[in-house]
Structure 1
Amino acid sequence: MTQSFSQLPLSATLIENLQSLDYVQMTEVQAQALPEVLNKKDVIVQAKTGSGKTAVFGLGVLNQLDVASLKVQSMVLCPTRELADQVAAEIRRLARSMPNVKIVTLCGGVPARSQVSSLEHGAHVVIGTPGRIQDHLDRGSLLLDELNLFVLDEADRMLDMGFQQALDDIIAFVPKQRQTLLFSATYPKKIASIADHVMQQPIMIKVKGNNDSDIAQSYYRVKNNEDRLAGIQLLMLAHRPERVLIFCNTKADVKEVTQAIMNYGFNVLALHGDLEQKDRDQTLIRFTNKSTTVLVATDVAARGLDIDDLDMVINYHIASDTEVHLHRIGRTGRAGKQGSAHSFYAEKESYKMKRLSEFLEVEIVPSQLPSHSVLHQNTYKPPMMTLRISGGKKQKLRAGDILGALTSENGISGQQVGKITLFDHCAYVAVNRDTAQMALNKLRNDKMKGKTFKIWLLKD
């Protein structure tokens, strides 16, 4: 099996760029799938998040791109806006040595009008969510006559989120002569049915996750939700994780758990389907930039998030599906780092535990929760705080402008500045908690790009 990217039938430009990005040895999914993808076969890949699958279809997209033709040649469907943005960013990285590649993202939460304008100027690659893609197809602003590569990323979650009808409608617009790639963490009957409908003699590639060995799993037997909430407090105080993601099976549980953790004195935010896009973006930014310790979410709301350095995952209830359990815990212990996953279960969930034990091929033995003596310890705050700026890309604001303003005379040091995130009309910057007020005053008193922007410090 080919293991090196340089052995693949990729253009010299792509090979050179991969080397500059330190892409040398392929992951298992890349080694198995890329030769078939580059051979223009229809391919089904069953692999979990973090396996390197985005590079599989990203390189497939770029290797057959005709830059001279400003027609949509490839389309990638994703379940969430966050995942679509991540996929677009990764493909742009892979394409950075190829001049004039135009990639357009089409997702909800932003005005369709600006997207129509982008499409009118031409695009090579379209990446988006089913609802907004369907909208553009219906209004005639997105034309797929020249499409030769169609990608369904995280297809199982698109179905979980109710996109079956939208997928059917989109497929009706896609040319019959094309290559189709389907990626899914699980492979239920509904996915098999879609594959039968949209693919020609697909090659099936199944890769088991290789991160699980880096995850220490513990299971706690409880009687009720009060025990679960008390257990979360004990785990937080004993282990003091910088960032922990708690999975709940329902929105009602998300709200209950969020309130309880707030009452314990921790910084916590919730992620669920009722949030407006702006609030969802802000929640994710504050968690990823280490301004919030705990994020409580449902599986559907958290799908597609790619968060590095996650210390701990807690399952408030055991997931109904064993593959979903693996997907949850796979968010910690990435890139060879040790992570921990803690799961609560009650007597009535014994059947789930039996199924999980068989799936993991290990005997699950209940663990002891930390001693109640940890309750004497103080809660703790996250290391960073977030500033919101009333200007973004459309105001020509760049990350360098924000960093420069913060670190100029009488400012804070570069080491005290964290992640900077730019949107079209706003920006967020994380700063060390101890310097937050100083950073706020500095940005309020200084100009960026010759302008004064409104600045807010997002409170805990």
Structure 2
Amino acid sequence: MSDQSFANLSLPPAQLKNLEHLGYREMTPIQALALPLALAGKDLIAQAKTGSGKTATFALPLLKQLNPRDFGTQALVLCPTRELATQVATEIRRLARYQQNIKVVTLCGGQSIGPQIGSLEHGAHIVVGTPGRIKDHLRKKTLSLKRAKCVVLDEADRMLEMGFIEDMRTIIEQTPASRQTLFFSATFPKDIKAISVQFQKDPEHVQVESLHNDQQIDQQFYICQKSERLESLVKLLCLHQPQAAVVFCNTKQATQQVCAHLREQGISASALHGDLEQRDRDQVLVQFKQLSCTVLVATDVAARGLDVDDLPLVVNYDLPRDAEVYVHRIGRTGRAGKAGFALSLLADSERYKFDAIADYQQRELEFEAVETLTVEAATIPAPPFVTLCIAGGRKEKVRPGDVLGALTGEAGINGKAVGKITVMDYVTYVAIERGQANKALKRLTDGKIKGRKFKVRKLR
């Protein structure tokens, strides 16, 4: 048995079997450092990057503490965004499979509060949510944290950046003093230290490489006039022909301007910014992950919770004001040992930002003029998939297998033409190879799913 084996931990045999079934082979560095401490009931500050296995690091200890017969809320996980909360809740449910009837409820803004209140009335062992909506439920007295044994702040530094510090304080103050408090954060700013001093008892501080290994990310910088920035971005995209790329802008206005320009050039693009309605935001993210939209043009705050395992390219249309933000942006490519690629545009007046990024990474960086590049292609290919939206989801008991069956049944389309299927509460998104999209749309419109008719439309 290796030193990194989960079998070395004080976990129930049924959970160890479940971990093996879920493909948890060996502990990641953060798990090996933090799990023994968290399982022993210690308070913790853990510095680790996204994708390091931190969800299991807090989920395993809080699941071990649960009393399944008590339907009061025994654990609370606070996340900065709805997307991250949804990912975390999904993973906790998987890790909870070793014991029956563990109820995990997600409470986030952007969704109607009524159904959430209904879910809470039936009890919730674990609540995962965003600070604003958790505070709403506490104020309405639809949620009580008086029996919480464990409180987790996931991506605590992001919650601070987004202005949630007072909400975080208000929420933690409504939990028992005897609770276990676990902080997970990529960075450790002074505000996190202040909250830790206020709410944690002798916390252990563990840290693994908190920023992505930028050595596996090829960083290239191009200087250009501000007036030529849009044309320069198109030039870079045409040169590299990515199947998927995230373009970062510093403002909502810039995301809209860049997105409109890319579309004019025949490039599939969608904007992601803080003013989008939650439904539109979900749709944009799903299309990007399903490879039916090539370029996602995003602000930093809007991109929180965007977790794409295999992102080939990140572009900084605007360099951020903070070098650490730059490193977080480019860390979205080059994950899981893959080589990553990051391109950045800068004006002559932004040389100080370039210098700050080089200093922060303690490495030599170079830039060249964008005019030196020779580009033959005038645009990039259309995305390989088209996303169809079905007006029925989890609440109507729709499952991915039902959609696949409806598409591929007698004389249906080839299963290989069906990409990712994403089932949400009230809608389901299915990716179809572009050449088969119209046939699939007709098939779903004319046919039935689980014996029922659903409205289906093709997303642009």
d(CA) in 1 for partners of 2:8, 2:217: 33
- Name the residue aligned to 2:56: 55
- Name the residue aligned to 1:330: 331
Alpha carbons of structure 1 residues 122 and 418: separation in structure 2 relative to 1, 3 Å:
same
- Name the residue aligned to 2:98: 97
- Name the residue aligned to 1:219: 221
Q: Cα distance, 1:396 vs. partner?
A: 2.1
- Name the residue aligned to 1:358: 359
d(CA) in 2 for partners of 1:353, 1:198: 38
- Name the residue aligned to 2:12: 11
d(CA) in 1 for partners of 2:386, 2:371: 29
d(CA) in 1 for partners of 2:44, 2:242: 39
d(CA) in 2 for partners of 1:343, 1:140: 48
- Name the residue aligned to 1:395: 396
Q: Cα distance, 1:352 vs. partner?
A: 2.4
Once the two structures are overlaid, the 10-residue window that deviates more, 394-403 or 146-155, is: 394-403
Q: Give TM-score, length-normalised by structure 1.
A: 0.96
- Name the residue aligned to 2:454: 453
Spell out the pairing of 1:12-411 with structure 2 (5 A cutoff): 12-208=13-209, 209=211, 211-224=213-226, 226-367=227-368, 369=370, 373-411=374-412
Alpha carbons of structure 1 residues 370 and 451: separation in structure 2 relative to 1, 3 Å:
farther
8 Å contact from structure 1 (residues 104, 126) kept in 2: yes
SS, match of residue 97 in structure 2? coil
8 Å contact from structure 1 (residues 49, 330) kept in 2: no
Partner amino acid, structure 1, of 2:19: L
d(CA) in 2 for partners of 1:421, 1:76: 24
Once the two structures are overlaid, the 10-residue window that deviates more, 288-297 or 5-14, is: 5-14
d(CA) in 1 for partners of 2:265, 2:197: 51
Alpha carbons of structure 1 residues 376 and 399: separation in structure 2 relative to 1, 3 Å:
closer
Alpha carbons of structure 1 residues 291 and 449: separation in structure 2 relative to 1, 3 Å:
same
1:383-408 Cα distance to aligned partner (Å, 9 max, x none): 00011111112222221111011111
1:92-139 Cα distance to aligned partner (Å, 9 max, x none): 111122211110101112221111111111111000001110011111
8 Å contact from structure 2 (residues 267, 379) kept in 1: no
SS, match of residue 31 in structure 1? helix
Q: Give TM-score, length-normalised by structure 2.
A: 0.96
SS, match of residue 301 in structure 1? coil
d(CA) in 1 for partners of 2:383, 2:372: 23
SS, match of residue 334 in structure 1? coil
SS, match of residue 302 in structure 2? helix
8 Å contact from structure 2 (residues 76, 150) kept in 1: yes
Q: Cα distance, 1:293 vs. partner?
A: 0.1
SS, match of residue 302 in structure 1? coil
Partner amino acid, structure 2, of 1:241: P
Q: Cα distance, 1:322 vs. partner?
A: 2.5
8 Å contact from structure 1 (residues 234, 375) kept in 2: no
Partner amino acid, structure 2, of 1:16: K
SS, match of residue 178 in structure 2? coil
SS, match of residue 336 in structure 1? coil
SS, match of residue 135 in structure 2? helix
Alpha carbons of structure 1 residues 443 and 371: separation in structure 2 relative to 1, 3 Å:
farther
Partner amino acid, structure 2, of 1:221: I
Q: Cα distance, 1:294 vs. partner?
A: 0.3
Once the two structures are overlaid, the 10-residue window that deviates more, 328-337 or 131-140, is: 328-337
Once the two structures are overlaid, the 10-residue window that deviates more, 159-168 or 275-284, is: 159-168
8 Å contact from structure 2 (residues 238, 377) kept in 1: no
SS, match of residue 332 in structure 1? coil
1:339-380 Cα distance to aligned partner (Å, 9 max, x none): 211112223323322222122121111146486542544431
Q: Cα distance, 1:300 vs. partner?
A: 0.4
d(CA) in 2 for partners of 1:281, 1:268: 15
CA RMSD of aligned residues (A): 1.7
Q: Cα distance, 1:152 vs. partner?
A: 0.5
Once the two structures are overlaid, the 10-residue window that deviates more, 365-374 or 198-207, is: 365-374
Aligned residues: 458
d(CA) in 1 for partners of 2:13, 2:247: 44
d(CA) in 2 for partners of 1:347, 1:160: 29
State the 4+ residue runs in structure 1 displaced beyond 6 angstroms. none
d(CA) in 1 for partners of 2:413, 2:106: 35
Q: Cα distance, 1:314 vs. partner?
A: 0.6
SS, match of residue 234 in structure 1? helix
- Name the residue aligned to 2:443: 442
8 Å contact from structure 1 (residues 30, 55) kept in 2: yes
